[in-house]
Amino acid sequence: MSIWGRWRGRAGPSRLPTPAAERFHLVLTYYQREPAYSLGLACISAYVKRELDDVSVHMVPLFLGDDPDEYVRHVTALEPHLIAVAAMHPTWMPTQPYLDALKRACPVTPVIVGGYQTIVSPHDTLAYPGVDYVCLGDGEEPMVALIRRLRGEADPTLAIPGVLERTMTNARQDATPVLVRDLTGMPFPDYTIFERDGDIDYLSPRAVQSRSLTTLPVVSGRGCPYRCTYCANTTLLELYGGKGGLLRKYDSQAFVLELARLRDRYGVEFFQFWDEEFVYDRRYTDRLLELYRDVVGLPFSMFVRIEGMSESLCKHAAACGCHTMWFGVESGSEAYRRTHLNRRMSNQQILDATATARRHGIKLMTFNMVGMPFETLDDIRATFALTRTIAPELNVVSQYFPLPGTPMYEVVRRHGLLLPQSEEQQMWPLGRLNIREHDGGISGHDMRQIATEIMQYLEEHTLCDA
């Protein structure tokens, strides 16, 4: 059975909703290797539904290997008035054949693209023939404004803040990214767009917690104040600026009540906090965790930096139900982390922090990255020597991919290490370098050999059951 069939139901996508002609139909789509949540699109859906009660929002996911004609059939059956595509830079080129197929099937239906791809490459994205609009920054307000424009409710000669459009001259474009600076008045993400017969358990992320638990990812806010050289957040900080590292949080009490509602609606047994920085504001975090313990009462996981894994945090988090802490190590070489990644913690700090978490019964999930510029074979071996010492319940290893706008991308570009763009290069799996071989870096042959060792380690040491 295709992934599309698993998304829509055991019997495949045979029952598609019949849209009412009088309603405006917005179709959201995003490219994934396998079924997964897109909380950004869920936020847009919630805002559109709140502001425009006569708009129907539909999700049509796009998966690696999907047949473009089948994908287009599902989109066109919804008779969309607007198609909105979320795109990260590595998924942009694989998405393009599906945009081509959409334009052939419904040439007058406008397509808007948003996400990191459009933030760092807005004009290149807009130049693609299958794209009519690009969104810069947060998409809630621009989406509502565009729908009103398309319905004839707004002056078509005025630019929409945060939106570039193919039909207007550059002089009338508003290329200022839109940023939602206060989440207090924003609705929580709309999970109904992911439902299959009223259920979302089929999408449960399976990480360190038991595979049998119905799991839901949530966010208490947006933003990250740190400037890791390889990360998209660094680019966003440069573009937006602002005090506090763009951190914005929901009201803690309202957020916890929303989690309780989701728990009851979907039978949630475990929450994953997907905040990129969950504990930067300790007063907020402590208050939120206390409310969560009293109102929700379920085990949870959260992202945390090594610097934040203090005795007091681990003790408090464990008492409130923290099951797992997720954190990035990236490289096991202290020198490489400091020189190339802007990650200042020492290996001893990492070991001390993980020992602290374990003393309080908290399990560990670590992230590593390989194939980075000027990373040697010894650096990679140091990464997995450190990982073996930490012995996390789950270790996630990713192949480095240069993201435009990041400091490390500029290093790659300056040294002539960028590869010619192609779908295969942008989606290469672990073991294939996403940059050119170079002096001072690992060879492609060694990368393939070390990838085999990594996969063997992951198969022998990953514990997905709790």
The C-alpha atoms of residue 34 and residue 43 are separated, in whole angstroms, by: 21
Amino acid at 156: P
Look at residue 318 and give its three-state secondary structure. helix
Q: Does residue 164 share a domain with residue 226?
A: no
The neighbouring-strand residues paired with 29 are 85
| H-assigned helices in 151-243 | 232-240
Alpha carbon distance 285, 296 (integer Å): 15
Residues 299 and 231 placed together within one structural domain of the fold:
yes
Question: Residue 192 falls within a domain, yes or no?
Answer: no
Residue 187 domain-assigned (yes or no): no
CA proximity to 404, closest of 379, 426, 382, 387: 426
Residue 284 resides in a domain: yes
Single out the residue of 246, 253, 118, 264 nearest to residue 191, CA to CA: 264
Are 221 and 346 within one domain? yes
Same structural domain for residues 353 and 415? Answer: yes
Query: Is residue 188 domain-resident?
Result: no
Question: From the centroid of its chain, how far is CA 427?
Answer: 16
CATH at residue 322: 3.20.20.70
Residues 363, 443 within the same domain: yes
Rg from Cα positions in the chain: 22
CB 33 within 8 A of CB 66: no
Task: Tell me, yes or no, whether 167 and 42 share the same domain.
Answer: yes
Answer yes or no: is 189 within a domain: no
Helices (H), 346-418: 347-359, 377-390, 407-414
> Contact 303/276 with Cβ under 8 angstroms?
yes
Q: Is residue 197 part of a domain?
A: no
Residues 142 and 229 reside in one and the same domain: no
DSSP string of 408-461, one letter each residue: HHHHHHHTT-PPPP-HHHHT--TTS-SS---TTS--HHHHHHHHHHHHHHHHHH
- pLDDT given at position 34: 77
Number of domains present in the structure of the chain: 2
**What is the β-pairing status of strands 270-273 and 248-249?**
unpaired
420 by Cβ neighbours in 10 Å (0-12 / 13-18 / 19+) ranks as exposed
Strand 133-135 versus strand 163-165 pairing type: antiparallel
CATH of the domain at 149: 3.40.50.280
Give the closest residue to 204 by CA, choosing from 250, 267, 257, 264. Answer: 267
Residue 191 lies in a domain: no
Amino acid 404 reads: P
Distances (CA, A) of 155 to 44, 52, 152, 314, 463: 22, 18, 8, 54, 57
266 and 348 co-located in one domain: yes
CA 430 – CA 438 distance, rounded (Å): 18
Inter-CA distances, 71 with 44, 91, 139, Å? 22, 16, 24
pTM comes to 0.90
Identify whether residues 232 and 154 lie together within a single domain: no
SS3 for 144?
helix
Cα 432 to chain center, whole Å?
23
Residues 147 and 245 in one domain: no
Instruction: Give the contacts of 442 (CB within 8 A, at least 6 positions apart).
Output: 371, 375, 376, 377, 380, 433, 450
Chain-centroid distance, C-alpha 135:
17
Q: pLDDT tens per residue, the chain (466 residues)?
A: 333 343 444 223 333 344 445 799 999 999 887 778 999 999 999 999 999 999 999 999 988 788 999 999 999 999 999 999 999 988 898 899 999 999 999 999 999 999 989 988 888 999 999 999 999 989 999 999 999 999 999 988 888 999 999 876 554 566 778 889 899 989 999 999 999 888 888 887 766 665 678 999 999 999 888 899 999 888 888 877 655 557 899 999 999 999 999 999 999 999 999 998 899 899 999 999 999 999 999 999 999 999 999 999 999 999 999 999 999 999 999 999 999 999 999 999 999 999 999 999 999 999 999 999 999 999 999 999 999 999 999 999 999 999 998 999 999 999 999 998 765 455 566 788 999 999 999 999 999 999 898 888 888 776 544 3
Last residue of a domain, one of 172, 194, 212: 172
pLDDT for position 33 = 79
Place of tokens 């099937």: 105
Which of 172, 188, 223 is the last residue before a domain boundary? 172
* 211 in the same domain as 155: no
Q: Which pLDDT score is estimated for 158?
A: 86
Determine, yes or no, domain membership for 312: yes
The residue written with tokens 């390889």 in the block is 230
What is d(CA 266, CA 268) in angstroms, rounded to the nearest whole number?
Answer: 5
The answer to whether residues 47 and 88 belong to one domain is yes
Mean pLDDT of the chain, nearest integer: 88
- Its domain, for residue 85, covers 3-172
Q: How high is the pLDDT of residue 442?
A: 94
Q: State how far the Cα of 250 lies from the Cα of 242, in Å rounded to an integer.
A: 18
